[in-house]
């Protein structure tokens, strides 16, 4: 490999059996796919396929999908060693996308022991060559000091470059940086264009940021109707905190019509994910029959689950204490079975 592209520690690392590649491309594809999936489906994340030791010929890769580049096609088939070797050849020739893939392998420890410093070196090379994914990843390392010396100024610069290239995650994080530098309405006003761009690209956290801006009148005129629309979008994108808040807004009729059944559905979804606040609110809804028929046993179960996470509630403590022994025992058994039952 040409010395210009290879970090010094790479020579030793290349002796390891490297089996995985193209994780950055996968992340982009996964993000684009996530925008199209309604959160109501609540589908579990499938594990990555197990690494396959066999190699795949270029003709077989092309037959699989002639539109995809060979490295990505090999990864899609699960032939990670072939994919890495192809990416390595491209990285050696100065391909910043391939360099980013190699960085991702080291950063995630995909098929090899994790090597954060090696990952940072590759990200740095690709970032300097203008790869937006690498710029974002390298910026995060510089901002947090993970695997590299912390350098907020340089990290912000690379985050700006990635955001200017249209990377949605970078746009959102740049907005967050602006808020940290300038809290309050003035910071929100400066960050809003970046949040809006990220939201339009399908980043649920950005949807939630806009919901907060409109709901509290930060950087924009207060507008609960707009806030609820953005909150619903964030909730549909799978953001648990947004699902909880949307449930509360729907139950109270804030920003639109009151809808207790929909509120119960969103609160249930967030509670099932393990969110303690949602579990607490769901317990009260079940105890009082809000959006659903009253169910003392289920109410007690969700209260116990929330309390197990440290969220206590005196009203619910009293409610459970008044239940008969049989119902309390049923609730305890349900807690033991949760989340399977």
Domain extent for 333: 269-341
Question: CA 167 to CA 130: how far, in whole Å?
Answer: 12
User: What pLDDT is stored for residue 9 in this prediction?
Assistant: 36
Are 134 and 13 part of one and the same domain?
A: yes
d(CA 281, CA 296): 14
Q: What is the pLDDT of the chain when averaged over all its residues?
A: 82
pLDDT at 30 over 60: no
Q: End of a domain among 127, 146, 165?
A: 165
What is the per-residue pLDDT across 296-325, written as a single tens digit (0 to 9) for each? 999 999 999 999 999 999 999 999 999 999
Is residue 218 situated within a structural domain? no
Report DSSP letters for 236-298, one per residue: HTT-HHHHHHHHHHHHHTTTS---HHHHHHHHHHHHHTT-HHHHHHHHHHHHHTSSS---HHH
Whether residue 143 is contained in a domain is answered as yes
Q: Closest Cα partner for 232 from 222, 246, 253?
A: 246
Which of 165, 188, 209 terminates a domain? The answer is 165
Question: Which of the listed residues 165, 194, 222 is the one where a domain comes to its end?
Answer: 165
Domain count, the chain: 2
Task: Classify residue 60: in a domain, yes or no.
Answer: yes
pLDDT tier for residue 102 given thresholds of 50, 70 and 90: confident
- Are residues 288 and 160 part of one domain? no
User: d(Cα 76, Cα 5) in Å, to the nearest integer?
Assistant: 26
Q: pTM (2 decimals)? A: 0.75
């Amino acid at each position: 490999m040409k010395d210009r592209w290879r970090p010094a520690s790479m020579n030793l690392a290349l002796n390891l059996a490297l089996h995985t590649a193209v994780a950055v491309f996968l992340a982009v594809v996964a993000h684009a796919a996530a925008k199209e999936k309604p959160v109501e489906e609540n589908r579990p994340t499938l594990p990555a396929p197990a690494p396959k030791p066999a190699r795949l010929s270029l003709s077989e890769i092309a037959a699989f999908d002639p539109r995809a580049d060979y490295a990505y096609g090999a990864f899609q088939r699960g032939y990670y060693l072939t994919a890495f070797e192809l990416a390595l050849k491209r990285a050696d020739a100065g391909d910043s996308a391939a360099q980013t893939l190699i960085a991702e392998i080291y950063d995630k420890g995909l098929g090899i022991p994790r090597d954060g410093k090696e990952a940072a070196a590759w990200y740095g090379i690709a970032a300097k060559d203008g790869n937006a994914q690498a710029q974002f990843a390298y910026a995060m390392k510089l901002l947090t000091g993970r695997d590299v010396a912390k350098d907020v100024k340089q990290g912000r610069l690379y985050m700006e470059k990635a955001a200017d290239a249209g990377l949605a995650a970078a746009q959102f994080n740049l907005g967050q940086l602006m808020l940290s530098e300038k809290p309050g309405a003035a910071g929100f006003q400066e960050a809003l264009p970046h949040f809006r761009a990220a939201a339009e690209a399908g980043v649920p956290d950005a949807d939630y940021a806009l919901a907060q801006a409109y709901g509290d009148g930060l950087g924009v005129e207060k507008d609960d109707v707009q806030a609820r629309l953005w909150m619903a979008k964030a909730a549909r994108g799978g953001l648990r905190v947004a699902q909880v808040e949307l449930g509360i807004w729907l139950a109270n009729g804030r920003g639109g019509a009151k809808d207790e059944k929909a509120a119960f559905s969103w609160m249930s979804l967030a509670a099932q994910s393990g969110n303690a606040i949602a579990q607490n609110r769901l317990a009260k809804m079940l105890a009082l029959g809000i959006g659903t028929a009253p169910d003392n046993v289920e109410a007690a179960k969700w209260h116990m689950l929330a309390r197990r996470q440290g969220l206590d509630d005196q009203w619910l403590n009293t409610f459970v204490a008044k239940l008969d022994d049989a119902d309390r025992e049923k609730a305890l058994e349900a807690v033991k079975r949760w989340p399977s039952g």
